[in-house]
Structure 1
């Protein structure tokens, strides 16, 4: 890891210490004040940090901040630039592009049901709290996202000069002199993001709502394939969020997992591209090379391209990848046979699938699309879709 990147991570870490009492209390309570989750009975509530209970006023403020372009160095970029509601809060690009045009090494992950995620990035097991995670896009330098490092004072001055924001911060945090602060900004953003809950797909209505006609016969056959031991999909994409990293009020313990899926095998010993080594970049443990989090499959048909680096274009190709037990790249600097990656997960062993079975599996995956989530007006841009706010 480059020395400059270490300084960036250290800066963000110190900021996060200032904004919270530590990761040990990140999931210490499930407290709410006046917020109604409006969840079906089968869906447990998320766990909310004790130091940031849910309040409607805080969610409203966070919604405005999530779409606020003036939180970027150019004044033309917001959280929503990489997390678009109609795409289940992804951006449709192979890899994200920050405010300054710098390309990132990884794909923008869906924010659907992010409140149920005990780890919040593709491959950093240390980022476990939304309030702290918000610091990374705002102040990270390698790569640049929002590009606001060193501009904390300007951010607060902009918010204080805006009458609407003054009113919303007061409603959310009281009228004390410290109501408008970086800490409260991240708390509001986190509160809004915890409302990104997707629980009304056709599959939800079929499996949990008792509507036997909600999905097609093909999707029902695909469900059986998905949960079969021959395909092994459910091991990494199971449970209420179709991921094996999950936390909620009904779990006795936190479930966190990272996997190597045989996407690369550059040197025949399991190597991944240097800027995308997975958990290994944090731990430096050889066995962590290429290990990434299994993302939720909710709304998966909307979140192409796929994998941590957006290197697989379609769901059909994703199935082909797992069917082969790993990807083979024949030429170029990343050439290698991923099916022979010695570090890949035991669940990536390959399987046989007929064309009709593949179509059934695809039908099941498409049944996980929740259009009420992607069209929920409470999650949309409060500034208007075509709003353009000048930089400060």
Structure 2
């Protein structure tokens, strides 16, 4: 059955790609290798810059176009949703839901991931190792049909007409894509969205000021104690949540080869043999390998206090409950269709051995996780809705 699901998923991806039209397909097929571009991302001096596909260099014009498209409900079948509907700036570009509805009301299988620092990730989404660029990933919500999100499959001409009739899009497309004579296609839309998303960088948390900028007063004593716990061999957290972004899938100018990893944390064990719910079985859906059941990409823990609910399916509501899951070495679900003892999952990571925490240690660990919140990200005008000021009445 895993192999059948993998083939079905690949077939659905191929079918969705086929709906894009020749122009859009060609635009995405020519992305080329990752390179260090010339765009100034404004990251702190201690931080590396993200890489970008050679065929889609980041430019100010492209970023501004992508920001407008990101917040524009014209990029949905019925004009009711935008990319920002599931990626809200005030929630670190998540949406606070367990899973998200698309324009038809159909729900996604997985929780909406944060877009902060997505430009540093060489394998996108929770469990699709085939999606390597933000340009490719943008097509999933735009034209994907399983599930339907923005619902634009087969609407190439209509979307082109909508955008062409809306100032300032014609001028912005010409400025962003002079080599394509300013063509408005789903391909150039995806490239602009990707360029904007690469600029969403979050590295100005209290912990960053403490650890990388030498401000000893930036975090509390409790957070410092929590840091020591987090990086201890007793808790094992750092094995999957490490490095610049507290995640072990990363690519940037100092790590050009990149790293990609997927993990099973014993969240489910439906049959005693490691089965996960069939609607979201991890990368086994793509690879067809039984041993990949339940393996998902570890998300960044930056801004984790803002991105509840947690896990790939949003099935854990609070950070305290997340700690319960890891302390137990896997989650136990006592009854219902998902009943099972996750700590006995034979496919779970070797790092899921469990631990105990005193109340004081738990509070310290939570304090550390909260110190990863970058408040400036939530209001940074570079990432905000550019249409808001234009919709607002002028001041008297």
| Structure 2: gaps spanning 5 or more residues | none
Given candidates 317, 336, 348, the residue that maps to 1:313 is 317
Cα distance in 2 for residues equivalent to 1:261 and 1:175: 47
Do structure 1's residue 131 and structure 2's residue 131 form an aligned pair? Answer: no
Partner of 1:295: 299
Give the number of aligned pairs.
384
- Please report how far the alpha carbon of residue 387 of structure 1 lies from its aligned counterpart in structure 2 after TM superposition: 5.7
Do structure 1's residue 257 and structure 2's residue 265 form an aligned pair? Answer: no
Given candidates 178, 187, 201, the residue that maps to 1:174 is 178
**2:156–2:186 Cα contact (<8 Å) kept:** yes
Partner of 2:27: 19
- Please report how far the alpha carbon of residue 375 of structure 1 lies from its aligned counterpart in structure 2 after TM superposition: 1.0
**2:146 aligns to what SS in structure 1?**
coil
Q: Structure 2 length as normaliser, TM-score?
A: 0.93
Do structure 1's residue 70 and structure 2's residue 85 form an aligned pair? Answer: no
Partner of 1:371: 375
**1:247 aligns to what SS in structure 2?**
strand
Given candidates 12, 37, 40, the residue that maps to 1:31 is 37
- Please report how far the alpha carbon of residue 130 of structure 1 lies from its aligned counterpart in structure 2 after TM superposition: 0.6
**1:74–1:100 Cα contact (<8 Å) kept:** no
Cα distance in 2 for residues equivalent to 1:176 and 1:342: 52
Cα distance in 2 for residues equivalent to 1:157 and 1:273: 41
Segment drifting more, 155-164 vs 191-200: 155-164
| Structure 1: gaps spanning 5 or more residues | none
Partner of 1:239: 243
Cα distance in 2 for residues equivalent to 1:176 and 1:270: 50
Given candidates 9, 15, 24, the residue that maps to 2:13 is 9
Do structure 1's residue 359 and structure 2's residue 373 form an aligned pair? Answer: no
Cα distance in 2 for residues equivalent to 1:59 and 1:326: 42
- Please report how far the alpha carbon of residue 123 of structure 1 lies from its aligned counterpart in structure 2 after TM superposition: 0.2
- Please report how far the alpha carbon of residue 163 of structure 1 lies from its aligned counterpart in structure 2 after TM superposition: 2.8
Cα distance in 2 for residues equivalent to 1:318 and 1:331: 19
CA RMSD of aligned residues (A): 1.8
**2:223–2:368 Cα contact (<8 Å) kept:** yes
Compared CA separation, residues 187 and 212, structure 1 to 2 (3 A): same
**1:20 aligns to what SS in structure 2?**
helix
**1:26–1:128 Cα contact (<8 Å) kept:** no
Segment drifting more, 68-77 vs 245-254: 245-254
Cα distance in 2 for residues equivalent to 1:227 and 1:360: 13
- Please report how far the alpha carbon of residue 161 of structure 1 lies from its aligned counterpart in structure 2 after TM superposition: 1.5
Segment drifting more, 254-263 vs 95-104: 95-104
**2:206–2:219 Cα contact (<8 Å) kept:** yes
